Amino acid sequence: MKKRSFFPSFYLILITVIMYLPILFVMIYSVNLSKLSSVWTGFSLKWYRDLFRDRNVGTALVNSLILGGVSSLAAAVIGTLGAIGTARTSFRGKGAMEYIATLPMMTPEIILGMIFLAFFSLLGLPFGMSTLIISHTAFCIPYVFMQVKARLAGMDKSYEEAARDLGAGRARVFFDITLPLIMPGIVSGMLLSFAMSFDDVVISIFVTGVSVNTLPILIYTQLKTGVTPKVNALCTLMFLATLLIVVLSALIGRLGNKKKA
């Protein structure tokens, strides 16, 4: 029999535990009867009930969904066009431009937040949903850009040439050939963007103003007044929702790759 080392599996388990144990605790305490986070007194869905009754949570959720939806959609359009533009043309400074396009991903969020704040004040834009959408779109674009660019790089140019050869004009080639072939990249970039937007707190706090609350901002402000198990319940739901999106994004990416092969 082959001798198996026990270390790799141990290592894997350790990492998983360290990563997921805190989340597990939050999940457990979200169904705790006690108001205190540290004592277990029994199972209850009381906090979930409270959560769903809370008007503020409802509006914040709707705000977050609108924000995530609109900005990931906008990022999908702009990011895709940018990726096609850089992949299918060549010009001086193209490499630099591609690097600049992904810069927001590497810039610390707090700095991005300040930049947006200063920029919007300078323009005199009223703070609220519109500024949230603009800033979220901006930091989501790189995710779509990277995904679509990778997809285009792996795509043979002869598909587009064959379509033109068969009589299709440029626009037709784009909608019939290019778009369907890069769609998995767009969708997975979009889902990633949505997840990023949905849990963003730093940038949002800078540009939201007073009237609009998103879910992460709500949680953050509630923490300041003390952690209630209601927040645990909310965090559990948000975690599960994010997990769902990430898994979906990965599945779509894989599906696209399989088709390509």
Question: Which residue ranges make up the site for other proteins (CB under 8 A)?
Answer: 156, 158-159, 161-169, 172, 176-177, 180-181, 259-261
Nearer of residues 133 and 163 to other proteins, judged by Cβ: 163
**Least distance from other proteins to the Cβ atom of residue 74, Å:** 26
Contacts of 23 (CB under 8 A, 6+ apart): 239
**Least distance from other proteins to the Cβ atom of residue 248, Å:** 20
**Least distance from other proteins to the Cβ atom of residue 180, Å:** 5
Across 167-257, the runs of DSSP E, i.e. the strands, are none
Task: Estimate the share of the chain in helix, then strand, then coil, as percent rounded to the nearest 5.
Answer: 80, 0, 20
**Least distance from other proteins to the Cβ atom of residue 163, Å:** 7
Nearer of residues 109 and 176 to other proteins, judged by Cβ: 176
**Least distance from other proteins to the Cβ atom of residue 85, Å:** 20
What per-residue string of b and e applies to 138-163 under the rule 16 or more CB within 10 Å gives b? bbbbbbbbbbbbbbbeebeeeebeeb
Nearer of residues 35 and 170 to other proteins, judged by Cβ: 170
Across the chain, the runs of DSSP E, i.e. the strands, are none
* C-alpha of 62 from chain center: 16
User: How many Cβ atoms sit within 10 Å of the Cβ of residue 76?
Assistant: 25
What residues pair up with 32 in beta bridges, in sequence order?
Answer: 43
Nearer of residues 49 and 259 to other proteins, judged by Cβ: 259
Nearer of residues 108 and 167 to other proteins, judged by Cβ: 167
Q: List the structure tokens of 242.
A: 């994010």
